[in-house]
């Protein structure tokens, strides 16, 4: 039996639908398949691992303020996650089961031409909604890029002290909070 991700009562569940149309859940923890885990938790864990390895790979294992300059990195990760989410959203209607199943049922003579036409009309409406979302997503991606650019410029301009050390608020705290915000926003947007 093959496992797949199923949405059941607005919850993501890893499992299979058996012959009796009952959900058999997998023994894998269910939170792992949730989009927020993939798009928020995994990048944050890799960010902390990056900081850890950045410190331990130095000859002196002393932690400096510069090790925590990760706000722009979070924004770049968000741009990447957002871009991948947009590509998935564009590709989904083309790879989705309804098109394949409808064509197979039509070829097998199970469905009539009029039934297929009405199903295709409903799917076309769904694709139109997806198209509008993708168009708006390009605008959001552009705004996220501008946001990241402004944040990087502001960090360079106002985040460094005269001693060439990063300021705690201007280079670390605010950019990191804004980076986490844009990461969560990206995950929220692509999961809509």
Q: What is the pLDDT of residue 154?
A: 93
In this structure, the answer to whether residues 6 and 46 fall within a common structural domain is: no
- What own/partner pairs with CB < 8 Å and gap ≥ 24 does 122-130 have? 123/93, 123/98, 123/99, 126/93, 127/93, 130/89, 130/90, 130/92, 130/93
Domain that holds residue 15: 1-33
Domains of the chain: total: 2
Residue 22 pLDDT = 58
Residues 51 and 75 in one domain: yes
Predicted confidence at residue 100, as pLDDT, reads: 61
Same domain, 93 and 169: yes
CA dist 180 and 154 (Å) reads: 17
The pLDDT value given to residue 1: 43
131/163 same-domain check: yes
- Both structure tokens of 65: 């303020």
Question: Whole-structure pTM over 0.75, yes or no?
Answer: no
Whether residues 16 and 62 fall in one domain? no
Domain check: are 59 and 140 in the same one? yes
Residues of the chain short of pLDDT 70, as ranges, are: 1-30, 92-106, 111
Residue 99 has a pLDDT of 60
Is 48 in the same domain as 73? yes
- Interaxial angle between packed helices 174-190 and 42-56, expressed in degrees from 0 to 180 and rounded to the nearest 10: 150
Helix (H) / strand (E) element for 34: namely none
In this prediction, residue 3 carries a pLDDT of: 46
pLDDT at position 21: 56
**Are both 51 and 146 inside the same structural domain?**
yes
Q: Do 97 and 147 belong to one domain? A: yes
């Amino acid at each position: 039996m093959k496992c797949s991700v199923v949405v059941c009562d607005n919850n993501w569940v890893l499992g299979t639908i058996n012959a009796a149309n009952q959900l058999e859940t997998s023994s894998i923890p269910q939170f792992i398949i949730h989009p927020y885990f993939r798009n928020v938790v995994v990048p944050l864990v890799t960010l902390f691992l990056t900081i850890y390895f950045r410190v331990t790979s130095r000859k002196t294992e002393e932690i400096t303020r510069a090790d925590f300059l990760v706000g722009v990195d979070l924004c770049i990760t968000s741009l990447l996650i957002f871009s991948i989410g947009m590509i998935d959203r564009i590709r989904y209607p083309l790879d989705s089961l309804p098109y394949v199943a409808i064509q197979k049922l039509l070829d097998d003579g199970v469905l009539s031409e009029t039934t297929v036409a009405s199903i295709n009309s409903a799917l076309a409406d769904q694709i139109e909604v997806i198209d509008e979302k993708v168009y708006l997503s390009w605008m959001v991606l552009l705004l996220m890029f501008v946001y990241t650019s402004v944040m990087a410029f502001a960090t360079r301009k106002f985040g460094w002290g005269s001693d060439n050390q990063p300021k705690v608020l201007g280079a670390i705290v605010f950019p990191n909070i804004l980076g986490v915000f844009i990461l969560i926003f990206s995950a929220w947007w692509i999961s809509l």
